[in-house]
Structure 1
Amino acid sequence: MEFCSFALDALMTEGHLMKSRFNAPVAWLTSGLFSVLSGCSWADQEKSGSDAFDILTDKPTEFFADATSTNVPIAPSLHATDSVFIDVDKDRDLDVVVSVEHGVNRLYLNDGQGRLVEQPGAFGKGIHDSEHVRAADLNADGNMDVVFVAEADEIHQLFLGDGKGGFTDASERLPQTSQGNALALGDVNGDKLPDIVIGSTGETAYAPDAKIIPARNLLFLNDPKRPGYFINATKTHLPDTNDQTEGVALADMDGDGDLDMVLASPAFPNRLLINDGSGHFKDASSQLDLRVPMESREVQVVDVNQDGYLDIVFFNITSNNFGWDKDPQTRILVNDGKGHFRDETAGRLPAHKFSSWGGTVVDFNHDGNPDLLVGAIDVPGFVPLQVRAWQNDGKGQFRDVTGDVMPGSTVGRSWSMGRGDLDGDGREDVFIGGWGTQARLLLSDTNAYEATRPAVTPLNSPKAETQ
């Protein structure tokens, strides 16, 4: 009970912080936010018959155990915006790097069983507005390196890994700054070195009538003569447009063997850029079937119907918590095999009205078909909701199986999600970012986790009353 009281105090404090930025009511605290408390979920009086709330131990489902309370540093007011799973110290398990908005970016080392321990100062002590993080071996030394992009303070960062868990700040090698809110790494010009794509935005303030200034996405090509140094190829390789990008995916969308670019925009129609193989991109957005206006915040590329062609999933919001505006329905564009992408949302995805700042692709039922986890927030109000689980039938049609798949504690203002096998069971685990609510860790080996979890005595049991 002491932990839950501590978390409640933190959330009440956070309520004032959120109100100042999003004009959202403190009534969040009575609308489901309690259930983000790590290791606790809440039932109301009508269901439980108690005086007010019962604190219930959150049981794992067949597919996931919420290991947050025991395996993740508790930080309920942290703005954990994104994460990436990499082995930073070559101990043969995956660690987690977390980008933090208006805070210090974090490194969580894995003990080999999925328990994460923070390494303070791994990426310095500076506070930045970091929105996304990605990792790759950028300087060809065999060690994983890390890139963060920041929006408000426009300080993008590059850290070179030493393979022992240490990092050196090499941010001066990034040739340009911007309001960055999207990031992807990949070899776009075929020289076997990963390059950097940064999606840029141009908001001047967080307000309904915020002025949008022109913003260009950035392309930094890795210098083959000096791997780990970068050449700014933005003007020569990208279309000269006002981009306003908050999500970017690099993938071979036309089947010619090179990486193309899919862009998610909060202000303009989403875009498709086709690579000529040398890293020069041409706008092919007319090949996207964009039937409705969208405020898109993230994009995933995946072959949903197993036909050998990559499809597109856009995660959308109605507004940045300024009231109801655009339709926030998650949308799926299916590749016809000829380079055109048809909007088949109505027949393939569950209908919804919540807004989603992020989601991920994971085969949570291990049937070989890609499923979706979808972050959910109620707007207006910025009210935390439970993360949704949508199961793929193998033909690209999804149904909502949240109640069967997601532990009840997975309620929060969920943001971007990282995935990978943290506990060594051969199945992917998921780290769910949280905007001012506790970031959560879902482990797929539910039996192993339960075997190590301490027993919890219900508060209304006779034993608890005597303690």
Structure 2
Amino acid sequence: MNLLRRRFLGSSLVVLGSSLLDALTTPLWKWRGTVRLEAEVLPNPSVPNSTPTSPVQFVDVAREAGLTIPNVWGGADHKKYIIEAKGSGLAFFDYDQDGWLDIYLTNGTRFNTDWPAGKAPTSHLYKNNRDGTFADVTEKSGLARTGWQTGVCVGDYDNDGWDDLFCCFWGHNILFRNNGDGTFTDVTRKAGVYDEQIRWGAGCTWLDYDRDGRLDLFICNYIKLDPEKTPSKAEPAQCQWKGIPVMCGPRGLPGDTNVLFHNNGDGTFTDVSAKSGILKPGPRYSITAVSYDFDNDGWPDIYVAVDSEPSILYHNNHDGTFTDVAVIAGCAYSENGHEQAGMGVAVADYDCDGWFDIFKTNFADDTCNLYHNNGDGTFSDVTFSSGIGINNQYVAWGCGFIDFDNDGWPDILQINGHVYPEIEGHELGQTYKNPRLVYKNLGDGRFKDVSSEMGPGIGERFSSRGAAFGDYDNDGDIDALVLNMNDTPSLLRNDGGNQQNW
């Protein structure tokens, strides 16, 4: 079978990145022919000129595109529990196979709120009208759900040619089967992926870990959250940030273990978390994951961004088991050996040497990480030498390697947003709502922060979480979709990036 990466990525955001974020940015796989997981060695594009002839501008066109329904996620001004701060993910995907990317937006809710009939916030499916606008087809699709939906990943698990959705919740996750007629069916119990426990699924990714031609499912679990047992603000030290009372966590709250489901090929899955070795790292604050073949051995591995603890790199042992090699591989900690608060993750071969590299976003007062793949099973943290380490004032979430100007070199778009609205009014040098960041790949191993040159859509301020990337208007350049906490989403149209389109 042939494993092809699509030209668009979704978070788990997230998304979280919740990459929580897919999202966070999670690879979406399409299966045709023989397995091909390795990065291609491509001819090096010429190093771009420092003054591009066609400047790229990102413009937020969400309102004119019809994306006007706001995200609802906990209290807007105060957060009592950490679930209210995480936010959620979203996805670009072509659910009806008409050649145009459609949009799936997750949503949340609020504690102690009795929503009037028909007024509760739900997830939404938007159909691409092929003219720059979208139509809300949620009701017809059967995808409307109310709850703390934290992430989504897209994949054709039953090989019928139609993309299905796995949706992560604090509560119970849901697997939606695409019926091929514009509707989806909840097959969670029938497929064997329902969990009787209340768990916090923070992110997910599809992969064929045993190369049998069927998509398996990996789920990141974050915290075992019980609001009745969670301390209130200002009680322990974990419930303060720079002297300001804030919601508690993650430290001081119990982490959870990740899950791997094997696809049985008959529409059902089997939990193989224990026998595969996925449980061996123990409980962690896992946020989002991606699956790529990092050592070019032909088998997909799994990298997990972890909050406030070492990140995980599950190496595929070719026999149905995995081993966490993140520490010895050099991608578990910061360059100076410190734990970091991983939020999102993106993967690409940024230097075109044939090996997949890793970009990971982190919490404020820390830099994001750029891990260069050395081609020998190890990574080098090149955050500072590459020019990425100049910004540390933001809580960074969704991210993506996108070649925004089509010069052949993967650039980086980073989404930001603080988790504590309570910091507003305090002179901390940080704000709750933040702009986005864009790093241009200079083609020599270095990146340049060009955010101020990239248009109004980059400079606008939100507390954002998940991000997805794709060419929604089919004009030959990559656009971005961003989920904003307690606000409408941003649809960042790429204007001018298609001068060298594909």
Q: 1:74 to 1:405 in 2, by over 3 A?
A: same
- TM-superposed CA distance for 1:372, in Å, is 0.8
Unaligned runs of 5+ in 1: 1-59, 319-326, 449-467
Tell me how far apart the structure 1 counterparts of residues 438 and 153 of structure 2 sit (CA, whole Å): 24
Distance in 1 of aligned mates of 2:108 and 2:363: 19
**Whole-Å Cα distance in 2 between the matches of residues 67 and 209 of structure 1?**
35
Q: Which residue of 2 aligns with 1:310?
A: 356
Look up the match of 2:33: none
1:81 positional shift: 2.1
Offset, 1:438: 2.3
Of all paired residues, the percent bearing the same amino acid is: 24
Normalising by structure 2, what TM-score? 0.71
State whether residues 271 and 288 of structure 1, in contact with CA within 8 Å, keep that contact through their aligned partners in structure 2.
no
Which amino acid letter does the alignment assign opposite residue 368 of structure 2? T
User: Which consecutive aligned stretches of 4+ in structure 1 deviate over 4 angstroms post-superposition?
Assistant: 445-448
Aligned residue for 1:150, secondary structure, equals: strand
Instruction: Indicate whether 1:402 and 2:451 are aligned.
Output: yes
Q: 1:133 to 1:70 in 2, by over 3 A?
A: same
1:375 is displaced (CA, Å) by 1.2
Query: CA-to-partner distance for each residue in 1:199-256, whole Å, 9 max, x for gaps?
Result: 01125344158642241100011112x0x31111111112421232002110001110
Instruction: Quote the residue 1:188 is aligned against.
Output: 209
Distance 1:300 1:209 in 2: 23
The answer for the alignment partner of 1:435 in structure 2 is: 485
C-alpha contact (below 8 Å) 2:205/2:219 kept by paired residues: yes
How far did 1:73 drift? Answer: 2.1
Greater share of residues in helix: 1
Displacement after TM superposition at 1:187 (Å): 0.9
Distance, in Å, in 2 between the alignment partners of 1:144 and 1:125 is: 17
Which of the numbers 311, 320, 326 marks the counterpart of 1:270? Answer: 311
- Alignment counterpart, residue 215 of structure 1, candidates 256, 265, 274: 256
Q: Which range is displaced more, 70-79 or 85-94?
A: 70-79
Is the Cα contact below 8 Å between 2:124 and 2:144 reproduced in 1? no
Number of the residue aligned with 1:115: 133
For 2:470, the aligned partner's letter is G
Picking from 153, 175, 181, the partner of 1:158 is 175
Does structure 1 residue 422 correspond to structure 2 residue 465? no
User: Scaled by the length of structure 1, what TM-score is found?
Assistant: 0.76
- C-alpha separation in 2, matches of 1:342 and 1:282: 20
Matches of 2:143 and 2:153, distance apart in 1: 17
3-state DSSP class of the match of 2:397?
coil
Q: Which moved more, 1:249-258 or 1:175-184?
A: 175-184
What is the 5 A alignment of 1:269-288? 269-285=310-326, 286-288=328-330
Find the partner of 1:84 among 91, 97, 101. Answer: 91
Cα distance, 1:87 vs. partner? 1.3
**Residue type of the alignment partner of 2:173:** H
8 A Cα contact 2:307 2:343, kept in partner: yes
Match of 2:400, SS state, is strand
2:163 to 140, 144, 148: 144
Partners of 2:355 and 2:286 lie apart in 1 by: 24
**Per the alignment, do residues 168 and 399 of structure 1 end up closer, same or farther by CA in structure 2, a change over 3 Å counting?**
same
User: What is the CA distance between 1:72 and its match in structure 2?
Assistant: 3.5
Gaps of 5+ in 2: 1-53, 74-86, 110-120, 231-246, 424-430
Cα RMSD between the aligned structures? Answer: 2.2
Give SS of 2:274's match.
helix
1:234-292: CA deviation from partner (whole Å, max 9, x where unpaired)? 11112421232002110001110111011111131111110022431111122125222
Determine the structure 1 residue equivalent to 2:377: 339
1:179 is paired with a residue of what secondary structure? Answer: strand
Higher relative contact order at CA 8 Å, sep ≥6: structure 1 or structure 2? 2
Q: Would the alpha carbon gap of residues 61 and 166 (structure 1) be closer, same or farther in structure 2, given more than 3 Å must change? A: farther
Compute the displacement of 1:400 (Å): 0.8
Q: Distance in 2 between matches of 1:164 and 1:182?
A: 27
Could you tell me which residue of structure 1 aligns to residue 223 of structure 2?
A: 202
- Give the Cα separation in 1 of the matches to 2:407 and 2:144: 43
The aligned amino acid for 2:256 is: A
Q: How many aligned positions are there?
A: 377
